[in-house]
Amino acid sequence: MKQTVAFQAHAKNVFFHILTQCNLSCRHCYINPEQHGRQTLDIKTICKWLDAFSAQGADSNVIFLGGEPTMHPDLDQAIRHAHSTGYKSITVDTNGYCFHDILDKTSPGEVDVFSFSLDGPTPEVNDPIRGKGSFKICTENLQKAVKKGFGISLIYTVSTGNLKFLDQMPELLAKWGVQRFFIQVIGLRGNAASNSSDLNQLTRSQWDSVVPVTAEKAALLGIETTYPKVFLEPGEKFECAGKVAENYFIFPNGRVYRCPLCEDYPIHSLMFEDDRLKPVSGLHEDRFFDLNIPEGCVMNKLIQPGNVEYGPDGDPLYQVACCLLKERVSPPDQS
């Protein structure tokens, strides 16, 4: 069954980039060291910053990100700290290299989900996007993690470069024992925004003709599948997560954003200074969240205007949803 996942007002989601270093150079990578920093946070700092979000209640979820978070030698300690200080769920987003024996140093009781990134059903599709040899290593470690009993999800970032292979993924995921599938949309940020990139965003008709059908197929195989809503239907209410939800995107240089589309600009609304979280004064992202425009999401209009189409009268044909709004398709026995 398909349903739109409503924003949760009372749950905090902490997307914690503990470093920006990575062993891969994916062609769509959104990491921008000029804006996000180049440092690797030490474990004391990571723990203090985690505490800043867990202090006010138990309903906090943390997603450890990078760069490649498993390149951090103390990721296992960070996970343990989050676990012992009451984080409700702990996710590690990995490119699959699983450095520092992270699968052996942690347990399914501490990590709720290891989320592996893979952008094709074969090395021939995946490796030109993510790097030579990455398919083999990612899929081997994914299956090792399944055997160890970890919860596993897989993220597939769809672009014009790999759209036609998306429908081959559900059978593979079922064979590997993956429980959740996230179909992600490529953003016009980082490497993907460079003029030389041939990985482009999909048009609405490309998206509509492939993504929902693949999600249904995966769900019928028992895999819960989530994808961004992207376009609102007539009558659906537009909401900006920056106003109605609590999402925090933390970077090693101390910047904390509420909206991922703002991350390439110095308009973060919060900042860690001396390990204390402080609001930033002046022009920052919160100011954009308050603007009501017929196109829906203000940041999409500003930085991804190609997502909006207009009729002959100049009115937008549809509203662009918040990039954090998701559709979830559940297996029939979980609906």
Residue with tokens 């952008």: 119
Q: Is 308 in the site for ligand SF4 (CB under 6 A)?
A: no
**CB-side neighbour CA atoms (13 Å) of 97:** 18
Closest separation in Å from C-beta 21 to ligand SF4: 9
Evaluate whether 111 touches 90 at the Cβ level (below 8 Å): yes
Residue type, position 275, single letter: D
Could you tell me which stretch among 49-57, 103-111, 181-189, 240-248 binds ligand SF4 (CB under 6 A)?
A: 240-248
Q: Is 7 in the site for ligand SF4 (CB under 6 A)?
A: no
Closest separation in Å from C-beta 9 to ligand SF4: 14
Q: Which is nearer to ligand SF4, 53 or 288 (CB)?
A: 288
Residues numbered 72 to 111 that lie near ligand SF4 (CB under 6 A) are 95
Evaluate whether 114 touches 63 at the Cβ level (below 8 Å): no
Could you tell me which stretch among 138-146, 164-172, 234-242, 311-319 binds ligand SF4 (CB under 6 A)?
A: 234-242
Q: What are phi and psi of 328, to 5 degrees?
A: -120, 130
C-alpha to C-alpha distance for 237 and 114, rounded to whole angstroms: 33
Q: Which is nearer to ligand SF4, 17 or 217 (CB)?
A: 17
Query: Can you tell me which of 67, 69, 121, 252 binds ligand SF4, judged by CB under 6 A?
Result: 67
Residue 236 DSSP symbol: P
Closest separation in Å from C-beta 157 to ligand SF4: 8
Strands 270-273 and 255-257: what pairing?
A: antiparallel
Q: Is 228 in the site for ligand SF4 (CB under 6 A)?
A: no
Closest separation in Å from C-beta 152 to ligand SF4: 17
Residue 224 DSSP symbol: E
Q: Is 267 in the site for ligand SF4 (CB under 6 A)?
A: no
C-alpha to C-alpha distance for 106 and 77, rounded to whole angstroms: 9
Evaluate whether 222 touches 174 at the Cβ level (below 8 Å): yes
Q: Which is nearer to ligand SF4, 2 or 229 (CB)?
A: 229
Residue type, position 112, single letter: D
User: Residues binding ligand SF4: what is the number (CB under 6 A)?
Assistant: 24
Query: Can you tell me which of 18, 19, 24, 82 binds ligand SF4, judged by CB under 6 A?
Result: 24
Query: Can you tell me which of 64, 114, 181, 289 binds ligand SF4, judged by CB under 6 A?
Result: 289
C-alpha to C-alpha distance for 181 and 55, rounded to whole angstroms: 31
Q: Is 261 in the site for ligand SF4 (CB under 6 A)?
A: yes
315 token code pair: 């009115």
Closest separation in Å from C-beta 205 to ligand SF4: 22
Evaluate whether 191 touches 27 at the Cβ level (below 8 Å): yes
Could you tell me which stretch among 4-12, 25-33, 72-80, 162-170 binds ligand SF4 (CB under 6 A)?
A: 25-33
Strands 326-329 and 276-279: what pairing?
A: unpaired
| Of 155, 97, 123, 130, the residue nearest 28 (C-alpha) | 130
42 token code pair: 């030490």
Could you tell me which stretch among 36-44, 145-153, 203-211, 316-324 binds ligand SF4 (CB under 6 A)?
A: 316-324
Closest separation in Å from C-beta 168 to ligand SF4: 21
Q: Give residues in contact with ligand SF4 (CB under 6 A).
A: 22, 24-26, 29, 31, 66-68, 95, 240-242, 259, 261, 288-289, 297-300, 322-324
